[in-house]
Structures are given as C-alpha cells and as structure tokens.
Amino acid sequence: MKGATAFRKSGSLFLMVCFVGFLPEASAIAQSQSCPQFSPDGAMPVLENPKLTPRTTLLCNDAFASLNSGVVHQPLWSAEYLTTSAVSSAASIGRTTNRFHADARLPAGDGAVLSDYRRSGFDRGHMTPSGDISSIEAQKQTFVLSNVVPQTAALNEGIWTGVEMAVRHLAQRDGEVFVVTGPAFHGSTRGIGRNVLVPSSTWKAVYDPQAGGAGVYVCKNNDTPTCTIVSVTALIHAVGVDPFPSLSLDIKDHVMDLPEPENSPYHPNQSRSSQNQLERQGVRLGMRVLKQMIEE
C-alpha cells in the first residue's frame, strides 16, 4: 500500500470492546461439518474472542463457507477461495438471480428472515458477493440471508462494490486469493426487524499467496462511507476474528499493497478522490483510524 506499507504490530494495539460485551452466555452449537477448501492450509477462520461463539452455526456452501450468529442474526464471517478462472466464469454468466431467502439449515430463531429487511432502510449486503461465483447454482446460494448483513445503500452500491471489483481483479492478476468478509459492531445497538444488529462497519480480509501478503479493507457502514486498509493483526485485535490463522505473524503484522476500490457501476460518476475514497494512513494513524471507523 503506497504510503502505508507498514502497519506494524505494536504494544499499544487497540483492543476494541465490541458488541460482545452484552452477548448472553451460552454454548456454541457443535459443528457437524467442515469446509477447509476455502482457507489457506485448510485452516478456517477462528473466533479469538470466546464471547463471539454463542449460538454459532458453520454453513458450508458450494463456493463459500460462513459462520452464522444466532445472537446478531447474520454471519460473523464468510470465506471464499477466488481464482482467475472463477472470476472469468462468473463474468460470463453474469447475475442470474436477485432472490434472497432465509437459511432453512439454521436452528429456529437464529437466522434473519426476509421481513427483517423489509422497509428497514438498509440493503441486504452480500459478504461473499454473487459476482465472484462461477456457477448458477452456487450463485443462488450467495443470496441466502446467512451471507448477508444490513448495509447502507451508499456503502453497498458504492465503494463496497468497488472493493469487490478490486479483489476480483487482484485474483485475475495473481491467479488466486483467499478472502474472508464480515461485519464489525461497536458504539450502537441499533437493530432492524427481529433484532438483526446493524454493523458499524464491514471488512474484507485478503491473502494473496503469490504476493506473500495480506491486508484488510475496513469500510464505514453509514451514508458517507469511507474505507481504510489495515493489517490482519489490527483486525484480530479490533474485531476478534482471525481470518487466516495459518499465516505467519510477519504476514499478519504487515499490510500488503492492496488495490484501491474501483468505481462502482451503480455510481458511475463516483471518483476515488470523492468522499468515498480510500483513506491511506501511516503507521501511527493505522490503529486510531480503525478504532474511529468502527466506533462511529
């Protein structure tokens, strides 16, 4: 990342007190399946904070895996393995559906339903995007609500789409990337429908094996969204999710040169120098910026 290539780990990393502070104590649901093919070395994302684990359900799909929370009624993370061929195939079939649906695999009351989003003022924002998916059936699976979080239209149709496009082009350039996407909650307990919590920001972690590096886009979930890029270590300390547990600390501590978000086709006049631009910050500002973005 130009001008911010070393978001190094320091002794003063900010440990965010997330929404997990008010999670009820409960046991996590035992997982009966595993889908390691979407993660480096088969090591799936790990919840570093045990308070994130109540009522979680691992869901394996054809092209991605997600971990649903029955407390916030949405995924805590969604993981995919994106390749050059997958991106090309996805582009050739285009979007084949817009039909969102509840996830019947979840225990009763643990998943969002369509009425939760109706007249809520929020978009149903994909974590693993349909535009990454190379088959019609697998693309339909991305429209399940266990792969969706509430996002503002400004974020979902603007710079977030640009982030997704940039990651696809990175996969095309380097051949393969591992991607984990999820929400962050802080500073607000606002919900929609039946207590579907609205994230304060959403993040997308990327590991590029060819480049030997990783980084995380973090974007504010508001009406004037901005994004920044931070290290995997910063994400772990701030959100409590390790997207790539098999990676070395050296890779996690450094920020790779991720591409800037591209112009969204839904907002063709949006410039990368506009209010939705990617904010590139230096070493001393990295953690402070992440803290501010998640809190606001």
- In the annotated binding site, the residues are 156
Provide the strand spans (E) within the chain: 46-47, 56-60, 65-69, 74-83, 123-126, 148-151, 176-184, 191-192, 196-197, 201-208, 213-220, 227-230, 241-242, 278-279
Q: Which of 73, 101, 126, 267 is catalytic?
A: 126
Residue with tokens 């996690």: 252
Give yes or no: 126 in active site. yes
Measured between alpha carbons, how far is 23 from 2 in angstroms, rounded to an integer?
39
* Binding-site residues for Mg(2+): 156
**Distance (Å) of CA 257 to CA 6, 39, 208, 287:** 10, 21, 10, 17
**What tokens does 241 get?**
């999710």
Cα–Cα distance for residue pair 112/74, rounded to 1 Å: 7
Catalytic residues: 126
